[in-house]
């Protein structure tokens, strides 16, 4: 019995000494998260992604390296984000995770925009005009003016709404050039309106998702809630796995 107690004390002492300093690499961070209750994750990869702070797909967890220095409460929130069974649990975890400041050294530099197309200025003026028109027609003019840009890098997304960050980056809407070229102007305006519903969610304090509130608003403005066109061949069904991501630009700031 004495040997068992002594062994247990040594284990606890070792754990205390280990946790006295922050984890120094991915393996140590994964071990720490497992102690806090993380299950089902076999691999952790540290990133310097500027937008996505925490994400997981299948058995792999990706965490911005700035979270190596995060306090216990934030690390436990990462576990809750992965393991959470309800939307409320995950939302609370997101709130805690995003309170941790990630130093600029841990965030990749802003990526330069792709090569401009000669027609970009005309296209952007038209998109800005329709943003203003849709704002008045469908949202009572309450939405803020927002930068709209075109991307030649989008391979699977038609468009994207991203929120402002604590680092001075403004909210914006991005539309895929390939989408406009491949599917036409009417479809591009449909995508713009879809992203404006996300902007409405963000600016009215709602979660940015495709849940019941989004679907109701999408129906009200006359768009398909789950409209999606692939700009690349879809992955084989065997490779499709559940995934979640949390980013400074992918989640509404409290």
Written out in words, the top-level CATH class of the domain with range 2-106 is: alpha beta
Confidence at residue 91, expressed as pLDDT on a 0 to 100 scale: 82
Residue 56 pLDDT > 60: yes
13 confidence band (pLDDT: 50, 70, 90)? very low
Please return the burial class of 37, using the count of CB atoms within 10 Å of its CB with bins 0-12, 13-18 and 19+: exposed
Chain region(s) in the chain for CATH 3.30.2010.10: 120-234
CA separation for the pair 46, 40 (Å, rounded)? 18
Between the CA of residue 253 and those of 41, 49, 109, 221, what are the distances in Å? 27, 18, 21, 25
54 - beta bridge partners?
A: 63, 246
7 confidence band (pLDDT: 50, 70, 90)? low
Map tokens 């509404």 to a residue: 252
Confidence at residue 36, expressed as pLDDT on a 0 to 100 scale: 92
CA separation for the pair 223, 197 (Å, rounded)? 10
Residues 6+ apart with CB under 8 A from 126: none
Per-residue model confidence as pLDDT tens digits over 111-123:
544 555 667 889 9
CA-nearest of 78, 72, 75 to 93 is 78
The mean pLDDT of 5-18, rounded to a whole number, is: 51
Residue 21 pLDDT > 80: no
Per-residue model confidence as pLDDT tens digits over 208-243:
888 889 999 999 998 876 655 444 333 343 433 445
Residue 201 pLDDT > 70: yes
CA-nearest of 248, 103, 107 to 171 is 248
Helix (H, G, I), strand (E, B) or coil at 58: coil
Between the CA of residue 135 and those of 99, 131, 143, 197, what are the distances in Å? 31, 6, 6, 10
Written out in words, the top-level CATH class of the domain with range 120-234 is: alpha beta
DSSP codes of every residue in 14-31: HHHHHHTS---SHHHHHH
CA separation for the pair 52, 47 (Å, rounded)? 9
Confidence at residue 119, expressed as pLDDT on a 0 to 100 scale: 79
Residue 18 pLDDT > 60: no
pLDDT-above-70 percentage for the chain: 71
Map tokens 């002492």 to a residue: 13
Per-residue model confidence as pLDDT tens digits over 153-183:
876 788 988 887 666 678 899 999 999 989 9
């Amino acid at each position: 019995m004495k040997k068992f107690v002594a062994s247990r004390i040594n284990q606890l002492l070792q754990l205390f000494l280990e946790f006295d300093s922050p984890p120094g690499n991915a393996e140590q961070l994964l071990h720490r998260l497992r102690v806090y209750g993380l299950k089902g994750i076999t691999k952790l990869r540290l990133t310097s992604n500027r937008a996505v702070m925490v994400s997981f797909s299948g058995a792999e967890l990706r965490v911005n390296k700035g979270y190596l220095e995060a306090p216990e409460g934030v690390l436990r929130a990462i576990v809750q984000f992965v393991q959470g069974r309800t939307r409320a649990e995950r939302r609370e975890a997101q709130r805690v995770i995003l309170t941790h400041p990630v130093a600029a050294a841990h965030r990749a530099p802003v990526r330069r925009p792709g090569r401009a197309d000669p027609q970009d200025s005309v296209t952007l003026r038209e998109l800005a005009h329709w943003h203003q028109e849709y704002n008045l027609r469908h949202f009572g003019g309450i939405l803020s003016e927002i930068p709209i840009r075109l991307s030649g890098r989008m391979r699977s997304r038609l468009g994207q709404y991203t929120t402002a960050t604590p680092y001075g980056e403004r909210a914006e809407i991005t539309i895929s050039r390939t989408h406009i070229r491949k599917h036409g102007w009417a479809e591009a305006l449909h995508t713009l309106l879809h992203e404006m519903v996300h902007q409405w969610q963000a600016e009215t304090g709602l979660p940015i998702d495709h849940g019941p509130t989004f679907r109701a608003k999408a129906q009200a403005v006359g768009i398909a809630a789950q409209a999606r066109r692939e700009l690349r061949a879809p992955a084989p069904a065997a490779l499709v796995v559940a995934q979640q991501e949390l980013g400074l630009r992918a989640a509404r700031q409290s």
